[in-house]
């Protein structure tokens, strides 16, 4: 009996130390949504159980190795034990009750994370290879950055344009697959202002690792100011909107507007000029050519540039109005 008391005390001490070590490591990122609370509670229970089971196994093993090791001169076998029915019943019932308890807590956590707020703001999420796009139907605003007001539930209505993706902001904890051909939903209530990232948690192709977009949680006043700013941009000239889309969708990373060469041809002085192609032909850079070059990037390759560099998913990412705005912006770059 003495040995069991000593081992029990050591298991308790070890459990406390292991759990403290796990907490100190910081296994979970900051909790930035109301949905993270019940999920983190479930995680903490599991971490405690893991610490206990680890200690139960390791302490018993090490204690047995040290205390019950074979002494010098002992050559006989240990005591042969056939079994212990009470012990077997105990270690069957206790894990069963533990699993049922965790299932109950998990079901409650799921209910808490899916609790509906009838005043939730709707955001339409579109996923594709390899991008995220966010539309705010109540405000008629579109963005590649997910702006959210703090302490307000958001209903994300999500769909994919190609393969299965998965919407995941680690600080929000909750995650939801985004499927082609159907709409899935996810409810999030941000509680901490700051900048985060939405990532795709489903292997979706060659650029899966790069499929991430900013998430910005701000006060309600700052969110309304951002909405107002976006609406003003929508009411500006096509050239100004095109400049915004060029920056937002990454066009400016490859196409300069000052005549210099970055990755692709410069946009300065491009419109209505002859463009030499890799196949030896020449084409006029009119509206039709520019639109074709955006939507079907490998159809007409400019001389001196390699095919396959420009993303080939702008048909899914850009609306017709956004394409026309970008063309208007290119026209203005004399």
- DSSP secondary structure code for residue 172 in this structure: G
Give the integer Cα–Cα distance in Å for 43 and 37.
10
pLDDT for residue 311: 78
Q: What local confidence, expressed as pLDDT, does residue 291 receive?
A: 86
DSSP-derived 3-state class of residue 64: helix
pTM above 0.85, yes or no: no
- Using one digit for the tens of pLDDT, what is the confidence trace for 155-174? 999 999 889 999 999 999 99
Whose CA is closest to 15, among 39, 42, 49, 40?
A: 49
298: domain CATH number is 1.10.760.10
Same-domain pairing of 223 and 135: yes
Question: Which residues of the chain register pLDDT less than 70?
Answer: 235
Last residue of a domain, one of 203, 233, 263: 233
pLDDT for res 235: 62
pLDDT at 276: 87
**Which among 193, 188, 197 is positioned nearest to 220, based on CA atoms?**
193
The pairs formed by 137-143 with CB atoms below 8 angstroms and a separation of 24 or more are 139/227, 139/230, 139/231, 140/231, 140/234, 141/227, 141/230, 141/231, 141/234, 142/319, 143/230, 143/248
Within this chain, do residues 45 and 142 fall inside the same structural domain, yes or no? Answer: no
- Choosing from 207, 233, 259, the residue where a domain stops is 233
| In-domain check, residue 81 | no
Q: What is the pLDDT of residues 112-123, one digit of tens each?
A: 888 999 999 999
What is the domain extent for residue 327? Answer: 236-332
Task: Decide which of 79, 113, 147 is a domain's last residue.
Answer: 113
Is residue 44 one of the residues assigned to a domain?
yes
Q: Report the phi/psi class of residue 293: left, alpha or beta, with left for phi > 0 and alpha for psi in -120 to 50.
A: alpha
Tokens of 269: 């002085």
Query: For residue 166, what pLDDT is reported?
Result: 96
Total tally of structural domains belonging to the chain: 3
Task: Strands of the chain (E only): list them.
Answer: 121-128, 131-136, 141-143, 146-149, 154-160, 165-168, 175-178, 184-188, 194-200, 212-218, 274-276, 282-284
CATH of the domain at 201: 2.60.40.420
16 part of a folded domain: yes
What is the separation, in whole angstroms, between the first and last Cα of the chain?
A: 92
What pLDDT is recorded for position 306? 78
Q: How far apart are CA 17 and CA 19, in angstroms?
A: 5
Residue 85 has which token pair? 């029915």
Query: What tokens appear for 54 in the block?
Result: 């680890």
């Amino acid at each position: 009996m003495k040995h069991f008391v000593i081992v029990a005390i050591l298991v308790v001490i070890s459990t406390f130390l292991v759990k403290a070590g796990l907490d100190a490591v910081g296994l979970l990122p900051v909790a930035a949504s109301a949905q993270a609370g019940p999920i983190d509670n479930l995680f903490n229970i599991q971490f405690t159980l893991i610490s206990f089971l680890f200690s139960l196994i390791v302490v018993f093993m090490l204690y047995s190795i040290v205390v019950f090791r074979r002494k010098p001169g002992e050559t006989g076998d240990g005591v042969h034990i056939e079994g212990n029915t009470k012990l077997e019943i105990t270690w069957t019932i206790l894990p069963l009750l533990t699993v049922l308890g965790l299932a109950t807590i998990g079901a409650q956590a799921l209910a808490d994370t899916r609790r509906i707020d009838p005043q939730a703001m709707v955001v339409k999420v579109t996923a594709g290879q390899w991008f995220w796009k966010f539309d705010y139907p109540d405000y008629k605003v579109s963005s590649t950055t997910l702006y959210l007001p703090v302490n307000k539930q958001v209903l994300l209505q999500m769909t994919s344009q190609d393969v299965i993706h998965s919407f995941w902001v680690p600080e929000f904890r909750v995650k939801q697959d985004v499927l082609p051909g159907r709409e899935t939903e996810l409810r999030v209530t941000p509680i901490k202002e700051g900048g985060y990232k939405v990532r795709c948690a489903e292997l979706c192709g060659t650029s899966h690792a790069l499929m991430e977009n900013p998430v910005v949680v701000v006060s309600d006043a700052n969110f309304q100011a951002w909405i107002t700013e976006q609406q003003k941009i929508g009411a500006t000239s096509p050239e100004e909107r095109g400049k915004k889309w060029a920056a937002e969708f990454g066009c400016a990373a490859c196409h300069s507007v000052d005549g210099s060469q970055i990755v692709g041809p410069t946009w300065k002085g491009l419109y209505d000029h002859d463009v030499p192609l890799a196949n030896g032909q020449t084409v006029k850079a009119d509206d039709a050519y520019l639109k074709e070059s955006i939507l079907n990037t490998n159809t007409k390759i400019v001389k001196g540039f390699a095919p396959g560099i420009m993303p080939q998913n702008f048909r899914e990412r850009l609306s017709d109005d956004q394409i026309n705005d970008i063309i208007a912006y290119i026209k203005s770059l004399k």
